[in-house]
Structure formats: structure tokens, C-alpha cells
């Protein structure tokens, strides 16, 4: 695997403003990188800031968002307002719900052609229709859709969720992106179909060599496809490292809590180790560690110190002052 | 032990002028009193239709069910309403399942007003008791659904289902819309409530891990039929049907899951002839591809 850095997110912050006043700060300083050919997972629960991070990279932050920090793709700084962004060219995205991500009144072919016409020029002119079509058919075939000609003429409602997600991936790839962002790509799909889609993403990565930023709440998905992961809590990376290391020996109590809450890791009848409480609603005036109210290991100092990421092994880091007290690896 | 719910050869056919869909095609099983029966299957397998037919929220085309020994399909309105009070249902989308204009307390009082004679103070007392029981604070009583989190709304849904002191709860994907840490809280709550009130559960889920963790017995549905039924620890750990094996192989966290890179070959092999071969095809696609 090459180690060329493809994407770097440096100390990203996203706050929200209403009438000149800050109302919330859902992303509070996220730093992470993706190398080409690498699959990096952003994991976390609702409200941890994972989708906003993805939108920031795309220059698609909602109105009222006040971003800070830097996003650099392949050496080029990406604007937060999306003007001159690499979105659609070097970066593309696959959304969670393929059923609503397509426009229902146009054929798949027409929608994919729009992408090419907007982003691909030959001698300053858009690609000719026939050339665009030939290009699209190749990609429909690459994602394993049967009868690409027919798919090209189909409307979204004529395909199942799994097939539409394949078409969505084909559409994301037609401009040969360097970075593919996947926002919960399998959450809306049945398990067997989800597994096919993950398999497809890995094999396309092998073939085309793009880097992947995978946003998900599903630790199982992360385990299967990610090289590295960043666990987000309350708008911060609380733990990051190679997937195997983080999931085998989680160092942050939140990561341990997430794994402990999985029914797959419990015998029937044995109570699940639920994380008590809920994610803090507003992150504007947090002091100390954001997880301390729910943390089984919190001590007085946790209210004072806002922990930074510290290495627990060469590639593995966690933001917790009690890292040393976390006992050995999980089964 | 006796059966709290008996589902007897239920068939549900949806017809339009052009086509008909056999959503449920002759399904029978029993939920023993005080136990949990888990029904797993992919979308479109008919598991939610079964749940709705079992409580007669929709009429089955043929077949029927009995609750605590009493057949419900011939019952007239008054008798049916009386029997409904002994059942409860918890839905998948906790926020959509609540009336957005009723406060939490009003939502919980609603089934009590419909099914019991409780009014005034007694009604208030019982709603408060239910709030406590599902782990919500008194301060939640006056709020509206949109002011609560998904997990809290699902607790309200459970309180509503428990209001009439039912013996049987049907849980239709009760935690699929929730984060894992919240899912764990809600599953723990459901387990505690079942023990405390000797409830019987019919649990519908696409999540094999949840079903194996929660259930005594489990059934696997596919294309409207049960392909495998038995003790959850056997069906979902050492399945005999190829389809169940395949579902387990696709689950990322489950013991018995197959790593992604080795999985492809397994999935591409055809299912045995008894099962329909097109897992990934909707009826529309079959039309397109044929």
C-alpha cells in the first residue's frame, strides 16, 4: 500500500450561528487523514459530528454553519463554501438512502450524464452524448449491474435498494474521483445486500485506487472494510488507530462502551453493558471531558482536563486521562 | 406451558388489478407464555405483515391467530377491543409512532382512556407509574415528542404498549432506529419488563444478533414462509437451512460470520432448489430483467 497522503483534515471546527450568536458547536476540532487506496472509517453515534465532517470536506455545509480549520485534498486547500471545490471531480459521495438520493423523474442514464456534462470537458466542450453514454455503461458494468444498457434507461423506482446503491456508486465513480466519501452506505440495506456492497467497494478500490472516507455508526461494517478508524464523540476524535488494534484493545472508555453494548457479544439473559445517559445536546460550553457523565471510570480530574489525543502505541491514540487504567483487551 | 399466541396457517395476499403478492404464505408458530419468539428475515420477507395479522391490525386472507387460547378472527368489535387491551405493540420509528401534538403524559394516558375506566387522579397516577416503569423522569411528562431523543420516544412507545397491563407485546423492529448504546438500554428495559410482568414477546427484527440475544425461540422468514423454526440458540447458531446460514455469514459481528474477502464465493453459490434463487431482485426488477 502506498502512503501518499490524499486528504488531510486539520483541526476542523463547525459551529452554528443565529443572528450573530453561536448556538452550538457540533464539530470541535477534528484532525484526520486518508491516504490513497486507504479506507478510513469515521465511527460514532447520532450527533457526534460525523456527517458534518463529510459535508465539510465536500463544501456542502448547511446555512448558518461557521467552519474553521483546514481541509486539504491532494495538496489543494478545499474551500468551505464549495466554490472551486473538488466536489464532483476529485471527491464524490455515496449517500445512505439510494431510494431518495436519485431524482425519481429522470432515468439513471440521464442523471449520470448530467454529472459528466458538468464535470468533464474535452477541448473545453462537454463530452458528446454518445461518448458520455459509453463511459457510463462501462461503470454500470464495473459495479456489477446486469444489462447496463437497460439500467441506463431505467428509472430509480424500477430497481431494488441494493441495485440502486450499485448505480449510486457507479455515478460516484464516473468522474474518476481520488476520494470517495461513503455516508452510511449500507444502513438502508439488508445484511446480505450490504455485504455485497461492501465487497464491491473494496474491489473497486483495488481496481481504481481511490481513498475512502467511510462514515458509519456500525462497528461491524468498520471491522470489515476499514484500514484505520477514528471514533468520534461529541465532535472530537476520542480514539484513532488501525482498525484491528482499536477494536481488539480499545483504549477509550467510549469505544469500550460501544463494543460492550453489542448484543452479539453477550449471552442471552446477560444484561447488555449499556452506556448510561445520552450524548450532550449542546457542545458550546463543554468543559473537561465530554464523556465524563457517562463514563464508568471518570474521576474528579475529568471535569477539569479536556483530554487531547495521546499515543497508546505507535499508531494508536486515545483522548482520555485514564487510558492507563483501562484493563486489557476485549475478547 | 401454554401458548400465549398461536399463529395458525396465516396467508395474506395483496391484490391489485394487475398482480398479486403473497406477502405471507401459510405461516404457523406459537409463542409460549412468558417467552420471547423472535422472527428474523430481510425486508419484504413478510415478518411485519405476520405481526399485524397476528394481532388483527390487518385481516389475514386466510388462517388466523389465538391469543391466550381465544381465537380472535371471528370476534366482533366489542369483544375484539376487550382482547386488544391484553396485547400491545411497539413500532420501529418511535418518533413517528407518537402524536406530535400530544404531550408524553397525554400519549401515555390515551390507551388508558380507551381501554380502562381510569379518569382524573387515578389516570394521572397510572401514567406516572408507567413513566417510572420505562425509566423516564417526571420532567418528561409535559414535553412533546420532538423534544425527546429517539431512545426516550421508544420508552414512551413501550409505556403506551404496557398501559393496559397486556400479557403479549408485539415488538416490530423496536431498536432498529436507535444507536447501539441506546439500543442496549432499550433491550435491557424490555428484558426487565418481561421478567417483572411475565410478558410474552413476539419480536420482529432484521438483526440476527438482537433476535438471538432476546429470544427463546426463533423463526427465519423468507418470501412469506418460515424456512426454519426452533430454539434461538440452535436456529441462529447452528442453522440447518442454507438461507439461515447465509444470513449469519453476512452479519459482521455475529459468531459464524464470514470475513468479507471469503464471503463472495459463498454468496454466489446457488441456494438449494427449494428456495427461490433471486435474493436481490424486487418484483419490478424481475420484470425488467426477464
Residue A7: strand pairing partners: A34, A73
Instruction: Please judge whether B181 and A257 are an interchain contact, meaning their C-beta atoms are less than 8 angstroms apart.
Output: yes
Instruction: Please judge whether B253 and A271 are an interchain contact, meaning their C-beta atoms are less than 8 angstroms apart.
Output: no
A contact test, residue of B148, B152, B153, B180 with most A CBs within 10 A:
B180
In chain B, DSSP finds a helix count (H) and a strand count (E) of: 11, 10
- Closest chain A C-alpha to B118 CA, distance in angstroms: 33
Searching chain B, which residue's CA lies closest to the CA of residue A226? B260
What sign has the CA pseudo-torsion A183, A189, A190, A194?
negative
Within 49-108 of A, beta carbons closer than 8 Å to B belong to: none
DSSP B172: E
What phi-psi label fits residue B259: left (phi over 0), alpha (psi between -120 and 50 degrees) or beta? beta
- Tell me the average pLDDT of chain A: 92
Instruction: Please judge whether A272 and B213 are an interchain contact, meaning their C-beta atoms are less than 8 angstroms apart.
Output: yes
pLDDT of residue A238: 97
| Cα angle for residues B93, B97, B103 (degrees, 5° grid) | 125
What is the H or E stretch that residue B181 is in? helix B180-197
CA A102, CA A151: separation in Å to the nearest integer? Answer: 14
Tens-place pLDDT, residues A180-225:
999 999 988 888 889 999 999 999 999 999 999 999 999 989 999 9
CA A107, CA A158: separation in Å to the nearest integer? Answer: 10
| Cα angle for residues B106, B108, B111 (degrees, 5° grid) | 105
Separation of CA A198 from chain center: 14
CA B191, CA B198: separation in Å to the nearest integer? Answer: 10
Residue with cell 447501539: B180
Q: Which residues of A touch B278 (CB under 8 A)?
A: none
CA A64, CA B229: separation in Å to the nearest integer? Answer: 53
pLDDT of residue A190: 87
Tens-place pLDDT, residues A263-315:
988 998 899 998 988 888 788 888 999 999 999 999 999 999 999 999 999 99
- Closest chain A C-alpha to B180 CA, distance in angstroms: 6
Identify which of B191, B210, B252 has the shortest CB distance to residue A223: B252
A contact test, residue of B251, B260, B266, B285 with most A CBs within 10 A:
B260
Tens-place pLDDT, residues B40-57:
998 889 999 999 999 999
Max distance between CA atoms of chain B, in angstroms, equals: 65
Identify which of A163, A191, A221 has the shortest CB distance to residue B285: A163
- The string over B8-18, giving b where at least 16 C-beta atoms fall within 10 Å of a residue's C-beta and e elsewhere, is bebbbeeeeee
CA A35, CA B200: separation in Å to the nearest integer? Answer: 52
Q: Which residues of B touch A224 (CB under 8 A)?
A: 252, 259-260
> Percent of chain B scored above 90 by pLDDT?
77
Q: Which residues of B touch A265 (CB under 8 A)?
A: 253
Searching chain A, which residue's CA lies closest to the CA of residue B42? A190
Q: Tell whether A153 lies on the interface with B, counting CB pairs under 8 A.
A: no
Tens-place pLDDT, residues B208-222:
999 999 999 999 999
Q: Is the ipTM beyond the 0.90 threshold?
A: no
Q: Using alpha carbons, select from A239, A186, A175 the residue that is nearest to residue A215.
A: A186
Instruction: Please judge whether B253 and A220 are an interchain contact, meaning their C-beta atoms are less than 8 angstroms apart.
Output: yes
DSSP string, B208-233: HHHHHHH-SEEEEEETTEEEEEEEHH
Any idea which of B112-116, B123-127, B179-183, B282-286 has the lowest mean pLDDT? B282-286
CA B30, CA B7: separation in Å to the nearest integer? Answer: 6
Helices (H), chain A: 50-58, 98-101, 108-119, 129-142, 148-153, 161-173, 191-208, 219-225, 243-248, 253-260
Q: Which residues of B touch A97 (CB under 8 A)?
A: none
Identify which of B210, B250, B285 has the shortest CB distance to residue A192: B250
Residue with cell 455516508: A183
Q: Tell whether A276 lies on the interface with B, counting CB pairs under 8 A.
A: yes
Q: Which residues of A touch B215 (CB under 8 A)?
A: 268
Residue B200: strand pairing partners: B168
Q: Which residues of A touch B207 (CB under 8 A)?
A: 263
- The string over B257-274, giving b where at least 16 C-beta atoms fall within 10 Å of a residue's C-beta and e elsewhere, is bbebeebeeebeeebeee
Instruction: Please judge whether A263 and B188 are an interchain contact, meaning their C-beta atoms are less than 8 angstroms apart.
Output: no
Position B276 pLDDT exceeds 50: no
Q: For residue B263, name the pLDDT band (cuts at 50, 70, 90).
A: low
Average pLDDT over residues A88-94: 92
CA B238, CA A58: separation in Å to the nearest integer? Answer: 45
CA B199, CA B144: separation in Å to the nearest integer? Answer: 28
Tens-place pLDDT, residues A35-52:
999 999 999 988 899 999
CA A261, CA B119: separation in Å to the nearest integer? Answer: 40
Tens-place pLDDT, residues A132-181:
999 999 999 999 999 999 999 999 999 988 899 999 999 999 999 999 99
E strands, B135-187, where?
A: 168-172
Q: Tell whether A303 lies on the interface with B, counting CB pairs under 8 A.
A: no
Position B289 pLDDT exceeds 90: no
- Closest chain A C-alpha to B179 CA, distance in angstroms: 6
Of the two residues B270 and A53, the one the predictor is more confident about is A53
Q: Tell whether A33 lies on the interface with B, counting CB pairs under 8 A.
A: no
What phi-psi label fits residue B36: left (phi over 0), alpha (psi between -120 and 50 degrees) or beta? beta
Are the C-beta atoms of residues A142 and A115 closer than 8 Å to each other? Answer: no
Position B202 pLDDT exceeds 80: yes
- Closest chain B C-alpha to A111 CA, distance in angstroms: 19
B contact test, residue of A143, A216, A262, A296 with most B CBs within 10 A:
A262
CA B185, CA A108: separation in Å to the nearest integer? Answer: 42
- For A304, counting Cβ atoms within 10 Å of its Cβ (0-12 exposed, 13-18 middle, 19+ buried), the class is exposed
Residue with cell 459464524: B256
Are the C-beta atoms of residues B45 and B225 closer than 8 Å to each other? Answer: no
Residue with cell 487504567: A325
Amino acid at each position: 500500500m502506498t502512503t501518499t497522503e490524499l486528504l488531510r483534515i486539520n483541526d476542523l471546527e463547525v459551529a452554528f450561528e443565529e443572528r450573530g450568536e453561536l448556538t452550538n458547536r457540533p464539530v470541535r476540532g477534528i484532525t484526520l487523514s486518508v491516504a490513497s487506496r486507504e479506507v478510513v472509517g469515521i465511527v460514532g453515534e447520532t450527533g457526534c459530528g460525523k456527517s458534518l465532517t463529510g459535508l465539510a470536506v465536500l463544501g456542502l455545509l448547511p446555512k448558518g454553519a461557521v467552519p474553521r480549520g483546514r481541509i486539504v485534498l491532494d495538496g489543494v486547500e478545499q474551500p468551505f463554501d464549495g466554490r472551486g471545490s473538488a466536489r464532483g471531480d476529485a471527491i464524490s459521495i455515496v449517500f445512505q438512502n439510494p431510494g431518495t438520493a436519485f431524482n425519481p423523474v429522470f432515468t439513471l442514464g440521464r442523471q449520470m450524464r448530467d454529472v459528466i456534462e458538468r464535470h468533464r470537458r474535452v477541448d473545453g466542450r462537454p463530452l458528446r452524448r454518445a461518448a458520455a453514454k459509453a463511459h457510463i455503461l462501462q461503470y454500470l458494468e464495473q459495479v456489477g449491474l446486469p444489462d447496463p444498457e437497460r439500467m441506463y434507461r431505467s428509472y430509480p423506482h424500477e430497481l431494488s435498494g441494493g441495485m440502486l446503491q450499485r448505480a449510486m456508486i457507479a455515478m460516484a465513480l464516473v468522474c474518476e474521483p481520488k476520494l470517495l466519501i461513503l455516508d452510511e452506505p449500507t444502513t438502508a440495506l439488508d445484511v446480505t445486500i450490504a455485504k455485497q456492497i461492501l465487497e464491491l467497494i473494496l474491489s473497486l478500490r483495488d481496481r481504481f485506487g481511490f481513498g475512502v472516507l467511510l462514515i458509519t455508526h456500525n462497528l461491524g461494517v468498520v471491522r470489515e472494510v476499514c484500514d484505520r478508524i477514528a471514533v468520534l464523540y461529541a465532535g472530537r476524535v476520542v480514539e484513532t488507530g488501525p482498525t484491528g488494534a482499536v477494536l481488539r484493545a480499545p483504549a477509550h472508555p467510549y469505544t469500550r462502551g460501544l463494543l460492550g453494548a453489542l448484543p452479539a457479544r453477550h449471552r442471552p439473559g446477560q444484561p447488555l453493558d449499556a452506556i448510561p445517559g445520552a450524548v450532550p445536546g449542546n457542545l458550546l460550553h463543554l468543559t473537561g471531558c465530554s464523556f465524563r457523565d457517562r463514563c464508568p471510570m471518570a474521576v474528579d480530574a475529568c471535569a477539569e482536563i479536556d483530554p487531547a489525543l495521546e499515543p497508546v502505541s505507535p499508531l494508536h491514540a486515545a483522548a482520555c486521562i485514564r487510558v492507563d487504567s483501562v484493563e486489557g483487551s476485549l475478547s | 406451558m401454554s401458548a400465549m399466541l398461536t399463529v395458525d396457517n396465516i396467508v395474506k395476499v395483496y391484490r391489485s388489478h394487475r398482480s398479486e403478492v403473497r406477502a405471507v404464505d401459510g405461516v404457523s408458530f406459537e409463542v409460549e407464555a412468558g417467552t420471547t419468539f423472535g422472527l428474523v428475515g430481510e425486508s419484504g420477507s413478510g415478518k411485519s405483515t405476520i405481526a399485524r395479522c397476528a394481532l388483527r391490525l390487518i385481516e389475514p386472507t386466510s388462517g388466523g391467530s389465538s391469543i391466550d387460547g381465544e381465537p380472535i378472527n371471528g370476534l366482533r368489535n366489542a369483544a375484539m377491543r376487550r382482547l386488544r387491551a391484553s396485547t400491545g405493540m411497539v413500532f420501529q420509528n418511535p418518533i413517528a409512532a407518537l402524536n406530535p401534538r400530544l404531550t408524553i403524559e397525554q400519549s401515555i394516558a390515551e390507551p388508558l382512556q380507551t381501554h380502562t375506566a381510569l379518569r382524573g387522579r387515578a389516570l394521572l397516577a397510572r401514567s406516572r407509574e408507567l413513566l417510572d416503569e420505562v425509566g423516564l423522569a417526571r420532567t418528561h411528562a409535559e414535553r412533546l415528542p420532538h423534544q425527546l431523543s429517539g431512545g426516550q420516544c421508544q420508552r414512551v412507545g413501550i409505556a403506551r404498549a404496557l398501559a393496559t397491563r397486556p400479557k403479549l407485546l408485539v415488538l416490530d423492529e423496536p431498536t432498529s432506529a436507535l444507536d447501539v448504546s441506546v439500543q442496549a438500554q432499550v433491550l435491557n428495559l424490555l428484558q426487565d419488563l418481561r421478567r417483572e410482568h411475565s410478558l410474552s414477546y413476539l419480536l420482529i427484527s432484521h438483526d440476527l444478533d438482537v433476535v438471538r440475544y432476546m429470544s427463546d425461540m426463533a423463526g427465519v422468514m423468507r418470501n412469506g414462509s418460515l424456512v426454519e423454526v426452533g430454539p434461538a440458540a440452535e436456529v441462529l447458531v447452528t442453522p440447518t437451512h442454507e438461507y439461515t446460514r447465509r444470513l449469519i455469514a453476512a452479519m459482521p459481528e455475529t459468531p459464524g460470520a464470514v470475513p468479507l474477502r471469503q464471503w463472495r464465493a459463498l454468496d454466489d453459490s446457488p441456494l438449494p432448489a427449494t428456495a427461490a434463487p433471486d435474493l436481490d431482485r424486487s418484483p419490478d426488477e424481475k420484470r425488467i430483467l426477464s
